[in-house]
Structure 1
Amino acid sequence: MRIGALLSGGKDSLYAAWRMIQTGHEIACFITIQSRNPESYMFHTPNINLTRLQAEAAGIPLVVQETDGQKEKELDDLKTAIQQGVHEYGLEGIVTGAIQSVYQLSRIERICHQKNLWCFSPLWLCDQESYLHSLVSEGFEVIIAGVFAEPLDETWLGLKIDIPFIERMKTINKKYHVSPAGEGGEYESFVCNAPFFKKKINIIETKTWFEHGAGGYLITRAELD
């Protein structure tokens, strides 16, 4: 089946695409919604402009649709992007990286139903600790691009998701009930390499910020290696 993968730049969207590849589907294109609103209800925003490098690294075409990020209205822009994917790449389905957000998944499923498309969410209600271990063992290279909850602070920005990271998150989860995979918005991520990438993203320059308990890791220069 020819699938369009919703691509945010973070781990969940790319791992979901990888799962579809593993089950014999073709990722015919990526679809990125580039929101002007950092508080978008639907769409990831940290380093969203670098999904073009991820698509290039994977050798997969990318559909980019901008949005003002207004609640509910931003769904019209998602519809436009999906329709473009259907028209240009013959999509038969869409894959999402949704894990627990009923708000996001229900809206994407509704659009797919309207467009007569299949909707796949291979990470839905997964065991988050097992999922993080799969990311590491299967060769994903992922860094933390934003933190938005205690006790995560500026020292977490730019960290790799590896076994020590998972162990720290287990401890924090027990004490603070922070989602291990950041599904509650506690942190955001960026994927530098994946098993289906032909090239790796090399981060050259960054800027970080942290204030009022939240922070970001802005990649200002990167290239394919």
Structure 2
Amino acid sequence: MKVAILASGGKDSTYASWWASLQGWEVVALVTVLVKGKDSMMFQLQNSWIAGLQAHSIGTSWKPVFSNGEEEKEIAELEMGIRGKDANLLPLEDLLPEGVEMPRDLEIQNGPLEIDGLVVGALRSDYQKTRIERMCERLGVRSFCPLWHKEPMDHMESLVSHGFEVVFTSVSCYGMGKEWVGRILNWESLRILEEASREFRFNLDGEGGEFETIVTDAPHMRRRIILDGEVVWSGSRGVLELKSCSLT
């Protein structure tokens, strides 16, 4: 079976891509929606272009799709991108931080994707899952959500135990301070995160937008991603503003 992965560069979609490889399927592309606007109901905003480096590390192609982030239009923009009929074509450099370049030998998909299925890392968002499923019906492909309603602690423990290097790149909830931006998920930080999630009543897996992540290494990645950035903090939220990235 040939599949594409809806990839943001974060922990859930990266886990989903690993899951697809374990099924013995051919992962023909990571598909990333790059949002030009300041908000999105469907897709991760911060640093999602990192999926291009992940694709190169995994050994597959990358399909960037540009979106304005407008509600109910962004799923149509994704569908058009998969069909190879992108309406919002832009130079990729316009959405990359200054100083960041993609590997020259990265295969970027410009035409339609010939796939049998689309794998997504949705956890509990019915809004996202139902729209993806309807789109897949229109495309005539199957939709797979391997993490759907997985117990949060089981998911987070699985990431650590299987060797995923997960970096917290943004924080926007009470109970997670500046020290979390740039921190790596491991057994100790997971213990502290669980305690904070209980005390401040936020989602342990970040499903409510409490934090965003980047995966810099995983079982199916052949080369690790090296990040260089600085923490930008304002009030009760902050982000890791990346200056450069490279593959080992």
Pick the TM interval, shorter chain. Answer: over 0.9
Determine if contact 2:65/2:78 at 8 Å carries over to the other structure.
Answer: yes
1:195 positional shift:
0.8
* Equivalent in the alignment of 1:207: 230
In 2, Cα distance between the equivalents of 1:207 and 1:174? 29
1:23 positional shift:
1.8
In 1, Cα distance between the equivalents of 2:190 and 2:177? 16
Point out where structure 2 has 5 or more consecutive residues left out of the alignment.
85-108
* Equivalent in the alignment of 2:166: 142
In 2, Cα distance between the equivalents of 1:159 and 1:38? 25
Alignment of 1:71-82 (within 5 A): 71-82=71-82
Q: Which amino acid aligns with 1:69?
A: G
Work out which of the residue numbers 214, 217, 224 in structure 1 matches 2:240.
Answer: 217
Encode CA deviations 1:99-144: one digit per residue, 9 max, x unaligned.
Answer: 0111111111110011111000000000111111111111111100
* Equivalent in the alignment of 1:26: 26
Of residues 38-47 and 77-86 in structure 1, the stretch that sits farther from structure 2 once superposed is: 77-86
Q: Which amino acid aligns with 1:24?
A: G
1:22 positional shift:
1.0
Work out which of the residue numbers 119, 134, 146 in structure 2 matches 1:110.
Answer: 134
Alignment of 1:32-47 (within 5 A): 32-47=32-47
Encode CA deviations 1:6-46: one digit per residue, 9 max, x unaligned.
Answer: 01010100101111111222211110000012321111011
Alignment of 1:1-225 (within 5 A): 1-84=1-84, 88-203=112-227, 205-225=228-248
In 2, Cα distance between the equivalents of 1:177 and 1:23? 35
In 2, Cα distance between the equivalents of 1:7 and 1:137? 21
Secondary structure in 2 aligned to 1:217? strand
In 2, Cα distance between the equivalents of 1:146 and 1:52? 19
In 2, Cα distance between the equivalents of 1:89 and 1:114? 14
Encode CA deviations 1:142-161: one digit per residue, 9 max, x unaligned.
Answer: 10010011011211000001
Of residues 19-28 and 150-159 in structure 1, the stretch that sits farther from structure 2 once superposed is: 19-28
Paired residues, number: 224
Of residues 24-33 and 92-101 in structure 1, the stretch that sits farther from structure 2 once superposed is: 24-33
CA RMSD after TM alignment? 1.5
Determine if contact 1:146/1:188 at 8 Å carries over to the other structure.
Answer: yes
More helix by share: 1
